[in-house]
A and B are shown apart, each in its own frame.
Chain A
């Protein structure tokens, strides 16, 4: 693999997992709010 391919792989892991982690928190907040009837 070229150096840029390694860099692209690392940045996909870093930024991709950050987005997934943030979205998972957002979804959990929304579902928990709904389950307790909090429409705030």
Chain B
């Protein structure tokens, strides 16, 4: 019993520890020669954006696997990842706006990267809304999987938008052909530490979110079992006390 509780709690402990390490690294890293202390916003903005990509890619994998195997386990993985992905996309947009205001002078501009990220955010909000249109688990999984596959087209579009189009947004910081743009080892450690920490947070949230979807499906099954007539319309209640 005690070991079960310990297993159920490890995701929360992992989230707390990884965030504490990421916060410490981002605070002890030096200020940037151009942006000053504002560069510290990058240590939460870039990991959030990376997590959005990862989460929607996992949704894509789960959706494809569901369409091939028809196993609801894959649909649960896709759904859990989409919800976490929507959260991290929203967070990346909010943090990007908070970084843009003091550096660009505006909260928002219709730049290719920003616009495509906003579209991706709304498409996956639509994915979550689509899942709420029915309680039928098989029907829901089929509909959502199609959108989960189609929606993934946006991931490379968003990532490479800063290379394919002339944009105000800076090019990728870490994943680029000529290596990371950051040279200072402490700044690089803060950025990579943030990416690793947020990935651990994602995995931990996934474990708990899948557990929640499983419980919710059990609840729907139990409720529909209670509402279902025992023997159909062939059985009718006897009329007690009726005279012949």
> Which A residues contact B (CB, under 8 angstroms)?
1, 3-4, 6-7, 9-11, 13-15, 17-18, 21-22, 25-26, 28-29, 32-33, 35-36, 38, 40
Q: Is B238 an interface residue (CB 8 A)?
A: no
CA distance A37 to B15 in the complex (A): 28
CA distance A28 to B213 in the complex (A): 10
Quote the shortest CB–CB distance from B108 to chain A (angstroms). Answer: 15
Residue of A nearest to B35 (CB): A3
CA distance A1 to B98 in the complex (A): 12
- Verify B44–A11 contact, CB threshold 8 A: yes
Residue in B12, B38, B91, B212 whose CB lies within 8 Å of A32: B212
User: In the complex where A3-B102, A33-B215 touch, is A13 in contact with B222 (Cβ < 8 A)?
Assistant: no
Residue in A3, A25, A26, A33 whose CB lies within 8 Å of B36: A3
> Which B residues contact A (CB, under 8 angstroms)?
4, 12, 15, 19, 23, 36-38, 40-41, 44-45, 48, 87, 91, 94-95, 98-99, 101-102, 201, 205, 208-209, 211-212, 215-216, 218-219, 222
Contacts of B201 in A (CB 8 A): 18
Residue in A17, A21, A35 whose CB lies within 8 Å of B205: A21
Residue in B98, B101, B212, B222 whose CB lies within 8 Å of A25: B212
Contacts of B209 in A (CB 8 A): 25
Contacts of A35 in B (CB 8 A): 219
- Verify B91–A14 contact, CB threshold 8 A: yes
Residue in A6, A14, A28, A36 whose CB lies within 8 Å of B38: A6
